[in-house]
Structure 1
Amino acid sequence: MLHAVWNGMTHGLRDKLAGFTLISIASAGCGAVLVCVAPLPDPAAWPYIAASAALQVAYQLLLLRAYQLGDFGQMYPTARGTSPLVVALVSTTLLGHSLPAGQAVGVAVISCGLAAVALADGIPGRAQLPALAAALGTGVMIASYTLVDGSGVRVSGSVFGYIAWLYLCQGLVFPLIAWARRGPSLLSALRPLSGRGLAGGLISLLAYGLVVWAQSHGDLSTIAALRETSIVFGALIGAVVFRERLGHRRIAASATVLVGIAVLQLTGGR
C-alpha cells in the first residue's frame, strides 16, 4: 500500500520533475546517514552498486515520463506488472533456468492482465503509445536492477551496507539531472513541494524497509507475491483519488496481473 501511495503522491504533483527530485534528495539524505553506521560492502559489490544505481536512475526517468504522459491507474500497474514477467522470461531464456508448468501459467496470466490494462479504454492510438512505452520501459528497469541487486547483495558481505551506499549513490544522481534540465529555477520549484515531496521519499524508504524486514522473517515467495498487491492499490488510487475513467476495468485487469504474479512466485520453489 505504501509503495502505491508514494507513487500516487508523486503523480498528483503538478511539477513531477521537482517531486522526483525531492524523493531522490530524501533517499540520498537517508543513505548519507546510513553509510556512517553500516559496514562497508565488499569490493566485489561495488560494480553491482554502480550498475544498480544507474538502472534506478533510468527507472526514475522513465517512470517520470510515464506519469507525465498517462493516467496513474494505467501506468502504475503496467510498470509494476511488467517487472516479474521480464524477470521470469530473462531467467528462462538467458540464464537457462527451467520454467515449470505452474510458472508458465503465471506468465500467461500476467501477459493477459497487462494486455487488459493497456487495452482497458480501447486500442491505444499513436498518442498513447509513448506513455505505454515509458511504463513498459519502467518495468524492464525494475526487473534489471532486481536481477543486479540479487547478485550484488550476495557478494556484498553486508546487506545493510549495500542498501546504504545504493541509496546514497542513486539519490545523488537524479537531482544533478534535474539541475541540468532546469538550472537555478529548479530551486524555486522545489520550495512549495518540499513537504509533500520529502514525505513521499520517506514513505518510499519505509515501504522498502518493510519489504526487507518481511523477507528476513517470512517466506520469500509469499512476500514477493504480496508486495505486488501495490498493483491493485495503484488501480484503486487512480479510480478513487484521481477519478480516472474506466477505473473498474483497470482494477479488474490489475487484479488479473496480481493473480498471475502470485502464481508465478508461489510456484517458483523459493
Structure 2
Amino acid sequence: MLSYTGGLVLLAALLHASWNALLHGNRDRFLSMTWMSVAIAAVSTLIVVFTPLPAAAAWPYVIASGLVHIGYNASLVHAYRRGDLAQAYPVARGSSPLLVTLGAALFAHEAIGPLHALGIAMISGGIIAIALQAGRVSRAGVLAALTTGATIALYTVIDGIGVRLSGGAALAYTAWMFLFYWLMPVLFVAMRGAAALWTPVRAAPAAIASSLVGGVVSIAAYGIVIWAMQSGAMGTVSALRETSVVFAVLIGRVFLGETVNGKRWLACLVVAAGAVCLGL
C-alpha cells in the first residue's frame, strides 16, 4: 500500500491541503467554493461524455455521495468562518479517519487491528490537543470542524463501497458524482442572487481564477482517493490522505501568515503519526 498507490494518495494529501488553502485564502469563501464547484462540475461534464457508465449497482452511491458532498461544501465554508486553516483543517480532516475506519468496519466488514486502534487513539488525542489550545479555538469552531469531519467520513465510506460496485469505472464514478456540484451555483444564486456570482468575475478576477484552479486541483485529489479505494482499505486510504494536516499547517504558516505555536505543531504531528499508523 505504501508504494505506488501510497505515494499517489500522499500526493492527493498535498493537493487537498493546497485547495483548502486556496479556499481559506479568499475573503468570500462561499463565493470561492461556488466557483470551485463550477470548475469541478465542468470538468466532470467533459469526462462523462467520453467514459462509459458505471455499473448499475453503483448509482445509489453516486447519488448519495453527490448530495453529501454538497452538505460537506456548506459545512467546510462554515468551519472556515469559525477558525483559521491551521485550526479548522486538522480537526476536520483529522477526525475523519476514525469515523471512516469505524464506518468501513460496520458497512464493509474491514477489520480494525491493534495498530489501527493505536492510530485512532493518536488521532483522537491530537484532535483534543488542538481543541484545547487556549485562546485559539472556540467551542463553535471545534463543533463546525467536527461536523465537517463527519461529512468527510460519510462520503468517503459511501464512495469506498460505490467505486467497488462500479465495475472498475473509477473515473466515470468520480465524474458522475461530481456532476452534483452544479447544485452549488444554483444554491448560491438562490441565496445571494445572480449578480453576486457574476460581478466578482470583473471586480476580482484573480480570486475567481484561484477558485477555478482550486476546483481542478480538488477533483484530481479526490479522484486519486476514489481510485485507491477500489482495492485499498477505506480506513487506510483515508488515513494516508489525512496526513495533509501537516501540509495544511505548513501552508497556513508560510503562505497565509498564520501563527503556529509549538503545541499546535506537536498536536498536528501526533494526528499525522496516527494517520500513518492507520495506513500501515
Same fold (TM over 0.5): yes
Say whether the 8 Å CA contact 1:106–1:261 is kept in structure 2: yes
Stretch moving more, 181-190 or 35-44: 181-190
**1:96–1:226 CA distance, 2 compared to 1 (3 A):** closer
Q: Which of 101, 114, 122 in structure 2 is aligned with 1:101?
A: 114
Per-residue deviation, 1:204: 1.5
When the two structures are superposed, what TM-score results if normalisation uses the length of structure 1?
A: 0.87
What is the letter of the counterpart of residue 109 of structure 1? Answer: M
Q: What does residue 277 of structure 2 align with?
A: 263
What is the letter of the counterpart of residue 192 of structure 2? Answer: R
Say whether the 8 Å CA contact 2:174–2:226 is kept in structure 1: no
**1:11–1:218 CA distance, 2 compared to 1 (3 A):** same
Q: What is the CA–CA distance in structure 1 between the aligned matches of 2:59 and 2:277, rounded to whole Å? A: 34
Q: 2:68 aligned with 1:55, yes or no?
A: yes
Say whether the 8 Å CA contact 1:41–1:162 is kept in structure 2: yes
Q: What is the CA–CA distance in structure 1 between the aligned matches of 2:45 and 2:214, rounded to whole Å? A: 18
Q: Which runs of 5+ in 1 are unaligned?
A: none
- 1:15-55 Cα offsets, whole Å, 9 max, x none, are 11110001100011001100101101222221111100111
Question: Percent identity among equivalent residues?
Answer: 41
Q: 2:88 aligned with 1:75, yes or no?
A: yes
Q: What is the CA–CA distance in structure 2 between the aligned matches of 1:96 and 1:212, rounded to whole Å? A: 18
Say whether the 8 Å CA contact 2:163–2:173 is kept in structure 1: yes
Say whether the 8 Å CA contact 2:115–2:277 is kept in structure 1: yes
When the two structures are superposed, what TM-score results if normalisation uses the length of structure 2?
A: 0.84
- 1:131-182 Cα offsets, whole Å, 9 max, x none, are 211111111111101111111112222222211111212x111111111111
SS at match of 2:220: helix
Q: How does 1:81-230 map to 2 (within 5 A)?
A: 81-92=94-105, 98-121=111-134, 124=137, 128-157=138-167, 158-169=169-180, 171-184=181-194, 185-191=196-202, 192=204, 193-211=207-225, 225-230=239-244
Q: What is the CA–CA distance in structure 2 between the aligned matches of 1:243 and 1:228, rounded to whole Å? A: 22
**1:247–1:39 CA distance, 2 compared to 1 (3 A):** farther
Q: What is the CA–CA distance in structure 1 between the aligned matches of 2:136 and 2:25, rounded to whole Å? A: 26
Q: What is the CA–CA distance in structure 2 between the aligned matches of 1:219 and 1:99, rounded to whole Å? A: 11
Q: What is the CA–CA distance in structure 2 between the aligned matches of 1:117 and 1:43, rounded to whole Å? A: 43
Q: 2:255 aligned with 1:241, yes or no?
A: yes
Q: Which runs of 5+ in 2 are unaligned?
A: 1-13
Stretch moving more, 247-256 or 192-201: 247-256
**1:252–1:149 CA distance, 2 compared to 1 (3 A):** same
Q: What is the CA–CA distance in structure 1 between the aligned matches of 2:88 and 2:27, rounded to whole Å? A: 17
What is the letter of the counterpart of residue 57 of structure 1? Answer: I
Number of aligned positions between the proteins = 262
Q: Which of 9, 29, 33 in structure 1 is aligned with 2:42?
A: 29
Q: What is the CA–CA distance in structure 2 between the aligned matches of 1:220 and 1:140, rounded to whole Å? A: 15
Q: Which of 39, 46, 50 in structure 1 is aligned with 2:52?
A: 39
Q: 2:21 aligned with 1:11, yes or no?
A: no
Q: What is the CA–CA distance in structure 1 between the aligned matches of 2:111 and 2:130, rounded to whole Å? A: 28
What do you get for the CA RMSD once the two structures are aligned? 2.6
SS at match of 2:49: coil
SS at match of 1:36: helix
Per-residue deviation, 1:199: 1.1
SS at match of 2:130: helix
Per-residue deviation, 1:261: 1.1
Q: What is the CA–CA distance in structure 2 between the aligned matches of 1:247 and 1:11, rounded to whole Å? A: 20
SS at match of 2:61: helix
